[in-house]
Amino acid sequence: MADMVLAQDVQKYYGAFHALKGINLQVSAGEVVCLIGPSGSGKSTLLRCLNQLESIDGGAIRIDGELAGYRQHGNTVRELSDAQVSRQRLASGMVFQRFNLFGHQTALQNIMEGPVVVQRRPRAQVRDEAMALLKRVGLADKHGSYPTELSGGQQQRVAIARALAMKPKLMLFDEPTSALDPELVSEVLAVMRDLAASGMTMIVVTHELGFAREVANRVVFMDHGTLIETGTPDQVLGNPEHPRTREFINAVLA
């Protein structure tokens, strides 16, 4: 399988704080990778670097073979313009902990906004696709609802549909269920499970170890800005090699 994501020796500093200390991560097309680790270990930072919400201070990131943020001419690299970076960022769809829907727009309008305004695609076609996406996330009857009229789980499903409407090559999820009431978690995980089954490449930061065990092809454990351990869910969750992984998993399960 082709590399969808290739991160090589990625370094990130916030001022003097070294948040990512040489991250190497390869994700194949169609793969689902769950990223786990304690709060503050750099999981969110890594996702944000992958879709260029943050710049990196060293190393390189390639998405579907394309160098993120730079253009290479032989031995020289040049920074891309803001417009070129914006175009690259469309390759990955991101879903956040907080749903970030536009409050003054209906579910349908939220989903149509990006394809119509950013991608300038024909409205009628976008509308049909958006309705199909709403159906896919189980919310066909909610197309006219505003975010305040939807539960947290429904809002998050709209947020997923909104990201998918841009036809990304890759989906990044940053703790998509951790702001939800417990009874609403499963409906969002079900949508993500379907998406994984459809062949979407996904990187998911999550504390839902059950989801990771069931859906992930690989689980990566991160701590203090470093990838500590990576392997199948059975290896990393069931029989972790590193004491810090073991400690973390025991703490989550406790």
Cα separation of 219 and 228, whole Å?
11
Q: What is the b/e burial string over 143-152, where b = at least 16 CB atoms within 10 angstroms of the residue's CB?
A: bebbbeebeb
Phi-psi region of 66 (alpha: psi -120 to 50; beta: other; left: phi over 0): beta
Instruction: Determine if 102 is a binding residue for ligand ADP (CB under 6 A).
Output: no
From the CB of 133, what's the least distance to ligand ADP, in Å? 27
- Closest residue to ligand ADP using C-beta atoms: 44
Q: Which of residues 4-23 bind ligand ADP (CB under 6 A)?
A: 14, 17, 19
- What minimum distance in Å lies between the beta carbon of 196 and ligand ADP? 21
State the nearest-atom distance from the C-beta of 189 to ligand ADP, in Å: 19
Q: How far is 182 from 67, CA to CA, in rounded Å?
A: 39
Q: Which CB sits closer to ligand ADP, 37 or 147?
A: 37
3-state secondary structure of 241: coil
Beta strands 218-223; 226-231: pairing state: antiparallel
Look up tokens 């400690």; give the residue.
247
Q: Does 76 bind ligand ADP (CB under 6 A)?
A: no
Instruction: Fill in the per-residue mask, 39 to 68: x = in contact with ligand ADP (CB under 6 A), - = not in contact.
Output: xxxxxxx-----------------------
> Among candidates 35, 32, 36, which has minimal Cα distance to 252?
36
Q: Which of 109/230 has CB closer to ligand ADP?
A: 230
Residues that bind ligand ADP (CB under 6 A): 14, 17, 19, 37, 39-45
